[in-house]
Amino acid sequence: NMITGAAQMDGAILVVSGADGPMPQTKEHILLAKQVGVPNMVVFLNKEDQVDDAELLELVELEVRETLDKYEFPGDEIPIVSGSALLALEALVENPKIQRGDNKWVDKIFDLMDKVDQYIPTPDRETDKPFLLAVEDVLSITGRGTVATGRVERGTLKVGENVELIGLKDTKATVVTGLEMFKKTLDETMAGDNVGVLLRGIQKKDVERGMVLAKPGSITPHTKFEAQVYVLTKEEGGRHSPFLVGYQPQFFIRTTDVTGKIVSFTHIQMKNPSSVAEEHSNKMAMPGDRIEVTVQ
């Protein structure tokens, strides 16, 4: 779920306990964000109310910045805001009409969102390209039909237009009979929207997470491909050991995860070249190597 969510993000808020500092899961999430291409990040140091010493909070901030640097995010530049989500929520529950300036903990959440607006730019959407949406979930609505939900990756889509349901199963053609976003009915959706698409004549069993909805004829599914790959080292959150031809890793592509098979590979660059390594270069890949692989 973390990979699926991160792959759709334009930016992220990394929440770290100001009382405890970065945890192992914090580092895993930063690494995943880097691997799936989350471009920008803002940090919220939570539980500030539990930290009595301001110097301790400064040490946690320093540790967070060093951790971000380690995973190739600009630690010195990334905005860090401290606060207490719980105390802000309690103030909001007590007074739903609370305004900026009424409560210092609520103000810190406003400050956080200001940093998000300033530091995470609204990306240029590819609205001029053919429509594509990766299906994240599928729902069945009694009396209406099947709804595929996900984030529009590119293009635009209007009610009444034809789309194809592609991947994992045989390609099916269908018509869009409705669009909905955050309980609002739409006539049109575009790149960047998280939307539900009502599909004519499609059963829930016909749709799976990981499929894509696309403009008819715009893409073709493949079960075999070639790729250039860098094998992450143990220190980078990757493998501890080498692998051979025939290895079957999990592939995370958009919203799907599927098992594939390494049919063959050739080395582009070895991390630690040697006569023994070169002898096995087309049979075994080591962490840190760069290889060209054929996958099926």
Same domain as 162, residue 70: no
Residue 275: its pLDDT value, please? 52
For residues 261 and 224, what is the distance between their CA atoms, to the nearest angstrom?
A: 9
Does a structural domain hold residue 186? yes
Residue 89: its pLDDT value, please? 95
Q: For residue 266, which phi and psi values (nearest 5 degrees)?
A: -130, 150
Residue 278: its pLDDT value, please? 59
Q: Are 142 and 149 in contact (CB under 8 A)?
A: no
β-pair partners for 195: 150
Residue 265: its pLDDT value, please? 85
Q: Are 245 and 263 in contact (CB under 8 A)?
A: yes
Q: Are 264 and 294 in contact (CB under 8 A)?
A: yes
Does a structural domain hold residue 125? no
When divided into structural domains, the chain yields a total of 3
Same domain as 141, residue 78: no
Same domain as 237, residue 208: no
Encode the chain (296 residues) as per-residue pLDDT tens digits.
555 555 567 889 999 999 988 888 888 888 888 877 788 999 999 999 998 888 899 999 999 999 999 888 999 999 999 999 999 999 999 999 999 999 999 999 999 999 999 998 887 788 889 999 999 999 988 778 899 999 999 999 999 999 999 988 888 999 999 999 988 898 999 998 999 999 998 889 999 998 999 999 998 888 899 988 888 888 777 788 888 889 998 888 888 888 999 998 887 677 767 655 555 566 788 888 888 889 99
Same domain as 104, residue 9: yes
* Overall residue count recorded for the chain in this entry: 296
Structure tokens at 203: 């059963």
Could you tell me the sign of the dihedral formed by the alpha carbons of 200, 203, 204, 206, in that order? Answer: negative
Does a structural domain hold residue 57? yes
CATH number for the domain harbouring residue 245: 2.40.30.10
Residue 276: its pLDDT value, please? 52
For residues 206 and 148, what is the distance between their CA atoms, to the nearest angstrom?
A: 11
Does a structural domain hold residue 58? yes
Same domain as 234, residue 157: no
- Where in the sequence is the domain holding 146, given as residue range(s)? 132-214
